[in-house]
Amino acid sequence: MDCRQNEIVTSLMASYCEVGGINHVDCGNLPSKHAIATLCEDLLHLLFPGFFSEEAVSSQELEVMTNELVAGIRGRLNVEVRRSMRLNGAEGPKDVDTAALVCRFMLALPEVRALLQTDVEAAFEGDPAARGFEEIILAYPGLEAIAIQRTAHVLYKENVPLIPRMMTEWAHGRTGIDIHPGAEIGTHFFIDHGTGVVIGETATLGNHVKLYQGVGLVARSLAAGQALRGKKRHPTLEDHVTVYANATIVGGDTVIGARSTIGANVFILESVAPDMLYALGQQEHQVKEKKKK
């Protein structure tokens, strides 16, 4: 054994005792990152049967496969939710009936699938490069990111700590798209290309919203920090808004009106009225009314 082995262990043990805020020894296991990753993969199997399987799924096998997936997800998610509810500082009652909560989550999945169908339709209608729904489900990172966010949002609304954020961070790592589970997102949502998109916790997006790569829907950087928890910090995009690449829209009071278009590379701190084009001019930001057809 290395002669400094004992020194290394002793110094780490001292650090564990002295450094606060990172130690969870003796307080129960935290949710497992590996377990959450596996659950996300299984949820994709459940949401899009046959698309994420290594082998073909026949109609005769579908009910059996679905039954097995549901049972497996319920059992494992129940364990992870119980772990998260024991976390010090977790919001909500500690004696919550986790089995009932997980059951409500599973019962919400058909509604999630209905929303995802509108997202697939929006991607197909919005991208002439798409050759079919199959390509969108298998090859579009935005669809995978919103699929996980919509499922995580159900748990977020149930005040489950940690797990919803772990789910969306799993999707973030795979897709480069960072959507907080708290964001409220309407139907027919489409992220084109996707890399670098950030949507904050209190963002609200209406129906038929389209974002391109690098778009940020973010909060102002304010010194208040934790004092702003629970307050509206991120912008609102109304129905049929399009935001082009690398635009940044900031603040909880900022509203982008219905049917407006935000040009690329702009930084917006103020609301934009409906039916407007907000674009970067040669020297300044210009707001121009769209030409009437």
- What is the tens place of the pLDDT at every residue in 7-60? 888 887 888 777 765 666 666 678 999 999 999 999 999 999 887 766 667 777
Q: How far apart are CA 6 and CA 285, in angstroms?
A: 62
pLDDT the model gives residue 293: 44
Quick one: tokens of 99? 């089995």
CB atoms within 10 A of CB 108: 17
Classify each residue of 172-192 as buried b or exposed e, where b means 16 or more C-beta atoms within 10 Å of its C-beta.
Answer: beebbbbbbbbbebbbbbbbb
- Which residue segments constitute the domains of the chain, with CATH numbers given? 25-176 (1.10.3130.10), 196-293 (2.160.10.10)
pLDDT the model gives residue 22: 64
Confirm if 263 and 246 have CB atoms less than 8 A apart.
no
- What is the tens place of the pLDDT at every residue in 88-110? 555 555 578 999 999 999 999 99
First to last CA, the chain: 80
The amino acid occupying position 14 is: A
Confirm if 237 and 206 have CB atoms less than 8 A apart.
yes
Which 3 state secondary structure label does DSSP give 126? helix
Q: How far apart are CA 99 and CA 78, in angstroms?
A: 6
Quick one: tokens of 132? 């079919």
Q: What are 191's strand-pairing partners?
A: 211
pLDDT the model gives residue 39: 97
pLDDT the model gives residue 227: 67
Q: How far apart are CA 75 and CA 35, in angstroms?
A: 11
Strands of the sheet with 190-191, listed across from one edge: 190-191, 210-211, 242-243, 261-262, 276-280, 285-289
Under-70 pLDDT residues of the chain:
1-3, 20-28, 53-56, 88-94, 222-224, 227, 281-293
Confirm if 258 and 240 have CB atoms less than 8 A apart.
yes
The pTM assigned to this predicted structure is 0.87
pLDDT the model gives residue 59: 76
pLDDT the model gives residue 25: 63
